[in-house]
Amino acid sequence: MNSFALWIGQAAAEGVGGLGGGFGGMFIPVVLLFGIFYFMAIRPQQRKEKERRAMIENVKTGERVLFGGGIIGTIANVKEHTFIVKVADNVKIEVARAAVTKVLEKGEKPTDETDGKKK
């Protein structure tokens, strides 16, 4: 990607390809690079975060969830900013909603994110 940016910068400086010199010739490549960056990095990340927030909002009592620290538990109570989670018999913990990374389906086991294989 660096060589592409360098090529566009040189083309703008030399006036190759109708870009011309001056302000317009330097401004157009910058706008193009920002547009490429937006559609390749920023927009997909925003979509993923929106999906994660929707998932957290729809968590209900009785669902199994996986938390960022690796804890798996069953939601015992849903509060405004936290969940009460049953992790073992007679053991309940309170965790922040943002800690939820995945809602597990019935019988589903967590996967190792590095290789995508179920353990």
Report the candidate in 54, 67, 59, 56 with the shortest Cα–Cα distance to residue 95.
Answer: 67
pLDDT at 108: 80
The distance in angstroms from the start CA to the end CA of the chain is 37
pLDDT at 69: 85
Q: Is the pLDDT of residue 115 over 50?
A: no
DSSP of 12-74: HHHTGGG--SHHHHHHHHHHHHHHHHIIIIIHHHHHHHHHHHHHHHT--TT-EEEETTS-EEE
Give the integer Cα–Cα distance in Å for 100 and 86: 14
Q: Which is more confidently placed, 117 or 108?
A: 108
Write out pLDDT tens, residues 1-60: 566 666 666 666 665 445 455 666 788 888 999 999 998 999 999 999 999 999 999 999
Q: Is the pLDDT of residue 116 over 70?
A: no
pLDDT at 60: 92
Give residue for tokens 């086991």: 109
Write out pLDDT tens, residues 48-102: 999 999 999 999 999 999 988 888 999 999 999 999 999 999 999 999 998 998 8
Question: What is the value of pTM for the model shown?
Answer: 0.58
Task: Give the strand pairing for 72-78 and 64-67.
Answer: antiparallel
Give the integer Cα–Cα distance in Å for 2 and 113: 29
